[in-house]
Homo-oligomer: A and B are copies of this chain.
Amino acid sequence: MADRHVATLRHRLACQLDPSLNRQDGLTPLNALITLVIIIGIVMAVLQTEPKLYRGNELWFRFSELLFGSLFLLEYLARVWTCIENDGIKHRWQYVFSFVALADLAAVLVAFSVYLGNGGILLRLLLLIRIIRLARLGRFSIALDCILEAVRSRGYELLISAIFAGILLLVSSTLLYLVEGPHQPEAFGSILRSAWWAIATLTTVGYGDVYPITSLGRFCAGLTAITGVCIIAVPTGILASAFSDAISVAKERHRKLPKILEREKD
């Protein structure tokens, strides 16, 4: 009887933690809470790199570290306990050694190791691991599937436009290296250095830290900027339409899913 209560509790918790077990749309209340905690944790990690904010508030930041570490540990343990409710997972170890679970564990351990005093440079590397926490958001939605589907369905077109963009990058870098190199050796003295200018120009970012000063160099730069606007338009258009297609497909599938599940019940 107690076992059955525990099993019911575990099933409910699993449904709350894993949206794929849950047939209803959107985030479960528990998942929404975890998402909020992750976002606050990331914001805290970002804020504590700012010396003006960190100095004088070290204790508060360390306390928040401990708090978030404990919450993530709790969530990790709950996931390990409930993972066997998912039909795709035969044994608990299968989940424990999955990439997602290991990344969760690493985030938890690093959070505590920081609290225990290994500060300084480790603190900085920790930030990169913390960003992986955001990948958990992918678990809450079909967003990642959509993006991957969109990129896969138009992979050929995207590759072609990437090749053309690469050729344009190479040609414009070489041109500016030949034309501007002798006049500005620091900025255009090699094709690698010219490439920094070429990327800033082709993506229309245009920092303005390096720019051609000779007439011929400016002519080539103008051509590069104009061609860049045209070349960049191609992957832009492909990605936009691919993403739009993938989402409409995902919506269609999502709309049909409940009906199929109901039919299978009968």
- Within the complex, the shortest CB–CB distance from A241 to chain B, in Å, comes to 6
Specify which of B147, B170, B204, B236 is in contact with A134 (CB 8 Å cutoff): B170
CB-CB < 8 A to A183: which residues of B? none
Q: Are B191 and A46 closer than 8 Å at their CB atoms?
A: yes
Q: Mark A192-216, 1 if CB is under 8 A from B, else 0.
A: 1101100111011111110100010
Which of B146, B157, B178 is close to A243, meaning CB atoms less than 8 Å apart? B157
A 20-53 binary contact with B (CB < 8 Å = 1; else 0): 0000000000000000000000100011011100
Copies, count: 4
Instruction: Point out the residues of chain B lying under 8 angstroms from A50, CB to CB.
Output: 189-193
Contact A200 B171 (CB under 8 A): no
Chain A positions 218-262 with a Cβ under 8 Å from a chain B Cβ? 218, 222, 225-226, 228-230, 232-241, 243-244, 247
For the complex, give the distance between the alpha carbons of A243 and B236 in Å.
Answer: 11
Inter-chain contact B226/A203, CB cutoff 8 Å? yes
Is A49 touching B163 in the complex (CB atoms < 8 A)? no
**Cβ 8 A contact of A174, one of B131, B164, B230:** B131
With contacts A170-B131, A238-B240 known, is A229 near B232, CB below 8 A? Answer: yes
Residue from B42, B47, B160, B196 within 8 A of A143 (CB atoms): B160
Which residues of B have CB within 8 Å of A237? 233, 236-237, 239-241, 243-244
Interfacial chain B residues near A215, Cβ < 8 Å: 192
In the complex, which of the residues B127, B161, B174, B196 contacts A222, with contact meaning CB atoms closer than 8 Å?
Answer: B196
Does A156 sit within 8 A of B, measured CB to CB? Answer: yes
Instruction: List residues of A whose CB falls within 8 A of some B CB.
Output: 42, 46-47, 49-51, 124, 127-128, 131, 134, 137, 141, 143, 146-147, 156-157, 160-161, 163-164, 167, 170-171, 173-174, 177-178, 189-193, 195-196, 199-201, 203-209, 211, 215, 218, 222, 225-226, 228-230, 232-241, 243-244, 247
6 A–B contact pairs at CB < 8 A? A143-B164, A196-B222, A229-B236, A230-B239, A234-B240, A241-B244
Closest 3 CB pairs of A and B: A237-B240, A205-B206, A50-B190
